[in-house]
Amino acid sequence: MSSPSDFLPFTQPTLDEETIQGVVAVLRSGWITTGPNVAELERALSAYVGNRPVRVLTSATAALEIALQACGIGAGDEVITPAMSFVATANVIVRVGARPVFVDIDPDTRNIDLDAAEATIGPRTRAILPVHFAGLPVDMDRLYAIAGKHGLRVIEDAAHAIGSAWRGRRIGSFGDLVCFSFHPNKNMTTIEGGAIVADSQAELTTVERQRFHGLIKSAADQFDVTLAGGKSNLTDVAARVGLGQMARLDEFNATRRRLVARYFERWHAGAPVHLPARGDDGHSWHIFAPLLPLGHMRMTRLEFIGAMERRRIGVGVHYPAIHLYSAYRALGYRDGQFPNAERVGRETVTLPLFPGMQVADVDRVVDAVESILEPEVA
């Protein structure tokens, strides 16, 4: 008989006692909103990405929206982005008044099809907003060659990619504007939070003003507001969690790679699922999301998820195709436009992967998947 304690979620943050006590110290300090811990986290993140300027915010969603604003993107502009990602990737484009122009993805890497992206560039295109899906970097050489050729900005949705690298260079250490997520299911967390790596001092100033009301304080009694900014400043409580996570980020990512290696070892031949592209050591493996062989199965994906839950194993879905949501159908998108994104959206499942897992947990997941699927596809 299974007990609640043996449930294996598909993800779970790892918070050590030192971090917990650090949060207690912040709470006792009386300074719990933006303060010295935020400044320290920004310095640590900056050092991690080659001393580029970094500002932290309440979410990667806020970071992406502010990045678009820093680029001056708004009404009448178009931004090219993949048709399969978390919906925030597209929502922020709509929120600044621009139009998301979707392109299909590669079915193995799940990253944007850059040939399709270049073919989609038109007179209103201002930027490309790619996603480093699951932590696997987009082809950065090709991406920036296209952007340079056509005079476009690049805003990297690196929500999955803290600690990922392209040809030995960390994501965020080069390129244009780069946005990270520190949601609890990411490779490091600040409970909720994100960060933006800026490309210039002018854009850094815009980021700072957009995250706190557009306010400028030149003296104790001298204020001005230069733009109608929002409020997305991170708290010191959240930042202290982030500092504890930063100290272990490389360890966390090494564990993720080791666990994924076990998935591939178990499924090196004849896997009952379609495995994602493996990449190299630059892949930080935010999630492990194979595709179900639904065309050869009698059960549905929902029934598969239920069968896994009965075996005390959690399963996620990352992600449905964005263009098929009602809000994007209203913009004229329809079924059949982006077949790879639609296939992934139908067939994807996210299997357990987080630093607190053991290799034996991977074996448990593999055994469960095989026990469910082998009778289905026999």
Tokens (6 digits) for 192 = 């909720």
Rounded Cα distance, 254 and 257, in Å: 5
> Which of 246, 266, 300 is the C-terminal boundary of a domain?
246
Domain membership of residue 96 (yes or no) is: yes
> Which of 220, 246, 272 is the C-terminal boundary of a domain?
246
pLDDT value at residue 2: 44
Same-domain status, 235 and 261: no
To the nearest 10 degrees (0 to 180), the angle between helices 236-246 and 36-48 is 30
Averages of pLDDT over runs of 10 residues in the chain (378 residues) are: 74 98 97 97 98 97 98 98 98 98 98 98 98 98 98 98 98 98 98 95 93 93 94 98 98 98 94 95 97 96 98 98 98 98 98 98 98 84
pLDDT value at residue 5: 72
Same-domain status, 95 and 236: yes
Quick check: 285 and 257 in contact, CB under 8 A? Answer: yes
Among candidate residues 149, 186, 217, 231, the one labeled active-site is 186
Same-domain status, 257 and 232: no
- What CATH number does residue 38 fall under? 3.40.640.10
Residue labelled with tokens 């979410």: 59
Domain that holds residue 80: 17-246
Please tell me the pTM assigned to this model.
Answer: 0.96
Same-domain status, 176 and 78: yes
> CB neighbours (10 Å) of residue 356?
15
Phi, psi torsion values for 23, nearest 5 degrees:
-65, -40
> Which of 216, 246, 276 is the C-terminal boundary of a domain?
246
- What CATH number does residue 303 fall under? 3.90.1150.10
Same-domain status, 275 and 162: no
pLDDT value at residue 4: 55
pLDDT value at residue 376: 80
Residue labelled with tokens 């947990």: 361
Same-domain status, 107 and 64: yes
Rounded Cα distance, 257 and 261, in Å: 6
Beta strands in the chain (DSSP E): 54-57, 78-82, 99-103, 125-128, 153-157, 165-166, 169-170, 177-181, 194-197, 215-219, 222-225
pLDDT value at residue 1: 36
pLDDT value at residue 132: 98
Domain membership of residue 350 (yes or no) is: yes
Same-domain status, 163 and 258: no
Structural domain count, the chain: 2
Same-domain status, 237 and 255: no
Our answer to whether residue 217 is catalytic in this structure is no
pLDDT value at residue 138: 98
pLDDT value at residue 192: 97
Domain membership of residue 363 (yes or no) is: yes
